[in-house]
Amino acid sequence: MIRMTEKQAEELMADLDAKISKRWQATVDRTQFMQELKEGKLKKESIKLFYQNWGAFVPVINSVYTAAFYKHLWFFVKNVDLMEIYTQKVLDEFGHPTPPGHIQILIGTGNALGLTAEEVLLSPMLPKARALPDFHRTLLMDGLVQEYWFSVLWEGAFGASCLDWFKALTLHYGLTTEQASYFSKHHEADTMDHLDRKAHGAVTKTVLARLLQQGIYERPGYSMEYCAVTPVDLVALMMDEVYKATH
């Protein structure tokens, strides 16, 4: 069993944050897709196809998060105080600005890109793009409790990248700040405390710190670092697949 003090858990989280950020810079930021997006040279067709695949991913990852409460109910019942911050994130995702929550902002930015709600939410995902939601879903259903929670640590890196998206869409692709709000809102929600609630990344770290203090077991092949950094590679894979499909 792996068991850590609170300080050791915090140090591990900081180390993984650094590794995720480094991996993001080495993979996602270096994709042809992301480089051209930031320069305003990416085809609108590529942006729209990515957004369709991302739009199909969002309801899955949000529903996986709610399913985690049932799957890990024994842990939350044992640690009732953590139900508060867990619920804060649920309220943010599904209640802000009004129910059904962030999905409204997702659709709004999609509309500004020329996509209907159906195209944003119901388009079939490209095969390699589907690897990202399937990874999270598999860890929740088949993995040990900490594997899922480590796998969503990349929210912070995604939130930071949302600022690049927001700048590109408003500077190069004609969207207003309101129309690009899916990315500005997620930059805020994933990287900083807001609305008297913890940043989404901070919620994950709080849960993980408690798990590590109470003790975890690791499956062979599913280390903490593997679960944490693999989604970054899968985001890059999605971008590469979209770029290939539109060029």
Q: Mean pLDDT, to the nearest integer, of 115-137?
A: 98
**Each residue of 147-172: b (16+ CB within 10 Å) or e?**
bbbbbbbbbbbbbebbebbbbbbbee
Taking the CB of residue 176, how many other CB atoms lie within 10 A of it? 10
pLDDT at 23 over 50: yes
pLDDT band at 190, cuts 50/70/90?
low
- Quote the pTM value: 0.94
Nearest to 139 by CA among 126, 129, 152: 152
Q: Which percentage of the chain shows pLDDT scores above 70?
A: 95
pLDDT at 195 over 70: no
Mean pLDDT of the chain: 93
Q: Give the three-class secondary structure for 194.
A: strand
94-98 long-range contacts, Cβ below 8 Å, gap at least 24? 94/62, 96/195
197, β-bridge pairs: 194
Handedness of CA 48, 50, 56, 60 (dihedral sign): negative
Q: Let me know: does 219 contact 147? Beta carbons within 8 Å.
A: yes
Cα(6)–Cα(205) distance, integer angstroms? 11
Give the residue, 201 or 230, on which the prediction is more confident. Answer: 230
pLDDT band at 185, cuts 50/70/90?
confident
Q: What is the pLDDT of residue 194?
A: 47
Q: What is the pLDDT of residue 167?
A: 97
User: The tokens of 28 are what?
Assistant: 């996602």
Cα(58)–Cα(127) distance, integer angstroms? 16
Q: What is the pLDDT of residue 98?
A: 84
194, β-bridge pairs: 197
pLDDT at 174 over 90: yes
Give the residue, 189 or 104, on which the prediction is more confident. Answer: 104
pLDDT at 129 over 80: yes
Q: What is the pLDDT of residue 191?
A: 61
pLDDT at 213 over 90: yes
Give the residue, 71 or 187, on which the prediction is more confident. Answer: 71
Q: What is the pLDDT of residue 104?
A: 94
Q: Give CA angle at 182 (177, 244), nearest 5°.
A: 105
Q: Give the three-class secondary structure for 2.
A: strand
For 70, what's the count of Cα atoms within 13 Å in the CB-facing half-sphere? 5
Cα(43)–Cα(47) distance, integer angstroms? 7
Phi, psi of 149, rounded to the nearest 5 degrees: -65, -35
Helix axes 82-95, 102-112, angle to 10 degrees: 30
